[in-house]
Amino acid sequence: MINGTILIGVSDHTYQPTLSQLRAFVAVAEYRHFGTAAVRLNVSQPTLSQALAALETGLGLQLIERSTRRVLVTPAGKRLLPQAMATIEAADRFVSSASGAGELLSGSLRMGLIPTVAPYVLPALLPALREQMPGLALQVVEDRTARLIDGLRAGVVDVAVLAVPSEAHAMLEIPLYAEPFEVVVPTGHPLAGRADVVPRELGGLPLLLLDEGHCLRDQTLDLCRSHRAHPAAVGDTRAASLATVVQCVAGGLGVSLIPRMAVPVETARGVSTATFADPAPGRTLGLVFRSSSARSEDYEHLADLMRRLRPD
């Protein structure tokens, strides 16, 4: 039932859904919340609701089950959701190809990056894209992993630079490169300058972490657990950026792990570093995008460029 009208599964075969209606359906199905979906699509909530209702009426199917407490995707909605996403992807690719005359990496591209990557990759990547791909209209979205994956599914992000494997459903990944972690310590710390640190030595140290939701936090905790290293408590100290973490290290509040690409920038803040003995723990970065995307060739080209620009 939609607005008092019972849908009995009979659709008008002349009905053609609009892209706005399909985007409304995909966003609500992804976020399970009309307000959040409306914000993501940059439309009002009434406009979103009307678009979804028009789609359901035209199809003669209920795609979303609404109640005062929750939003659910119906079996019909789950069946049609992949096709709706593929249709949106094809339309976006059509517009991008037209605006860029079919060239690789042309037209609009919404690229997401996690906060532990963006400040260290973009200084080299953005000038290279301007010079080598002048037909590319790039938009940058910096956010945490979970929100970027949500954005990919909703179609508001085209491709994202994440730690892989992301294990996200209906996504493809192109590995970029592996990157080791380094230990950041206050100047004069016993670990400073060492090149043979082993993960179990993190046990007992006051380990500073990024706030919850950052994948680097999870990777650091997983490393400690796998080596039975139990860091000391640091109270309520937490940070939303690597810059803040390193400032806390410089101030003697603890030690931390940061990816190697961040070292040249962040260690100018009055701290020292130590490297792990081989095999050094770390992460692998990759480009993640929807499996329904028609731009896989573009993303392979982008991955090649990013490998050449890999930060030292």
**pLDDT tens column, 175-211:** 999 999 999 999 999 999 999 999 999 999 999 999 9
Asked if residue 3 is part of any domain, the answer here is no
Residue whose token pair is 């973490």: 245
Rounded CA-CA distance 241/156 in Å is 24
Question: Does 200 share its domain with 274?
Answer: yes
Q: Provide the pLDDT for residue 67.
A: 81
Question: Does 86 share its domain with 108?
Answer: no
CATH number for the domain harbouring residue 188: 3.40.190.10
- Domain finish residue from 45, 71, 95: 95
Q: Which residues of the chain have pLDDT under 70?
A: 1-13, 93, 96-104
Phi, psi dihedrals of residue 110, rounded to the nearest 5°: -100, 105
Asked if residue 61 is part of any domain, the answer here is yes
Domain extent for 304: 104-176+284-308
Question: Does 274 share its domain with 291?
Answer: no
Q: What angle do CA 162, 280, 265 make, to 5 degrees?
A: 60
Rounded CA-CA distance 221/172 in Å is 26
Give me the residues paired with residue 306 across strands.
none
Rounded CA-CA distance 65/49 in Å is 12
Rounded CA-CA distance 178/281 in Å is 10
- Domain finish residue from 62, 95, 128: 95
Q: Provide the pLDDT for residue 174.
A: 97
Question: Does 26 share its domain with 76?
Answer: yes
Asked if residue 57 is part of any domain, the answer here is yes
CA 48 to chain CA mean position, Å: 24
Number of domains, the chain:
3
Rounded CA-CA distance 245/251 in Å is 10
The reported pTM is: 0.74
Q: Provide the pLDDT for residue 82.
A: 84
Q: Provide the pLDDT for residue 235.
A: 74
From the list 285, 308, 283, 306, the residue with the least C-alpha distance to 182 is: 283
**pLDDT of 15-32, one tens digit each?**
899 999 999 999 999 888
Rounded CA-CA distance 16/9 in Å is 16
Rounded CA-CA distance 107/91 in Å is 13
Residue whose token pair is 């459903």: 169
Question: Does 153 share its domain with 272?
Answer: no
Question: Does 111 share its domain with 49?
Answer: no
**What residue type is 310 in one-letter code?**
R
